Amino acid sequence: MSSSSAAIRNKLERLRESIRRYDYAYYVLDDPDVPDAEYDRALRELQALEEQYPDLVAPDSPTQRVGIRPETEFREVRHLVPMLSLDNAFSDTELSDFDRRVRDKLQRAGVVTEEVEYVAEPKLDGAAVSLIYEKGVLACGATRGDGRQGEDITHNLRTIAAVPLRLRGRTPPVRLEVRGEVFMPKAGFEEYNRGALKRGDKAFVNPRNAAAGSLRQLDARLTARRPLDVFFYGLGFCEGMSVPKSQREILGLLYELGFKTCPEWKVTVGFLGCLAYYDNIRVKREKLPYEIDGVVYKVNSGHLQDILGSVSRAPRWAIAHKFPAQEELTVIRNIEFQVGRTGALTPVARLAPVFVGGVTVSNATLHNMDEITRKDVRIGDTVIVRRAGDVIPEVVKVVVARRPPRARRVRLPKACPVCGSDVIRAEAEAVARCVGGLYCAAQRKEAILHFASRKAMDIEGVGKKLVDQLVEQDLVKNPADLYELTQSQLEGLERMGEKSAVNIVSALENSKETTLPRFLYALGIREVGEATALALAEHFASLDELMSAGEDDLTTVPDVGPIVAAHVRAFFQERHNQDVIMELLNHGVHWPREQPTSASANAILAGKTFVLTGALESLTRDEAKERLIALGAKVTGSVSKSTDVVVAGENPGSKLDKARELGIETWDEARLLSTLPRGT
User: Residue 660 corresponds to which amino acid?
Assistant: R
Closest alpha carbon to 621 in 589, 640, 648: 648
Contact 495, 430 (CB under 8 A): no
* Exposed / middle / buried, residue 290 (Cβ in 10 Å: 0-12, 13-18, 19+): buried
Provide the Cα torsion 143, 145, 147, 152; round to 10°.
Answer: -50
Rounded distance between C-alpha atoms, residue 675 and residue 627, angstroms: 10
Sequence-distant (≥ 6) Cβ neighbours of residue 336 within 8 angstroms:
347, 348, 350, 417
> Which helix (H) or strand (E) element contains residue 375?
helix 369-375
Contact 411, 347 (CB under 8 A): no
Cα angle for residues 351, 353, 359 (degrees, 5° grid): 115
> Strand, coil or helix: what is 134?
strand
Rounded distance between C-alpha atoms, residue 551 and residue 220, angstroms: 49
Rounded distance between C-alpha atoms, residue 463 and residue 487, angstroms: 17
Contact 645, 666 (CB under 8 A): yes
User: Residue 670 corresponds to which amino acid?
Assistant: A
Query: Beta strand pairing status for 394-398 and 149-151?
Result: unpaired
Closest alpha carbon to 518 in 592, 606, 600, 429: 592
Catalytic annotation present for 123: yes
Q: Where are the alpha helices (DSSP H) in 425-529?
A: 441-452, 464-472, 487-491, 498-511, 516-522
- Kindly report the backbone phi and psi dihedral angles of residue 424, in degrees, each rounded to the nearest multiple of 5, phi listed first: -120, 155
User: Residue 334 corresponds to which amino acid?
Assistant: N
Rounded distance between C-alpha atoms, residue 426 and residue 342, angstroms: 14
> Which helix (H) or strand (E) element contains residue 187?
helix 186-199
- The greatest distance separating any two alpha carbons of the chain, rounded to the nearest whole angstrom, comes to 76
- Kindly report the backbone phi and psi dihedral angles of residue 178, in degrees, each rounded to the nearest multiple of 5, phi listed first: -120, 155
CB atoms within 10 A of CB 202: 9
Sequence-distant (≥ 6) Cβ neighbours of residue 591 within 8 angstroms:
513, 514, 515, 516, 518, 519
Rounded distance between C-alpha atoms, residue 91 and residue 152, angstroms: 36
Closest alpha carbon to 587 in 455, 461, 451, 467: 451
Contact 130, 83 (CB under 8 A): yes
Catalytic choice (123, 298, 445, 625): 123
Rounded distance between C-alpha atoms, residue 679 and residue 558, angstroms: 25
Beta bridge partners of 635: 610
What is the three-state SS of 578-604?
A: HHHHHHHHHCCCECCCCCCCCCCCCCC
Count of residues for the chain?
680
Rounded distance between C-alpha atoms, residue 637 and residue 561, angstroms: 10
Q: Could you list the active site residues? A: 123
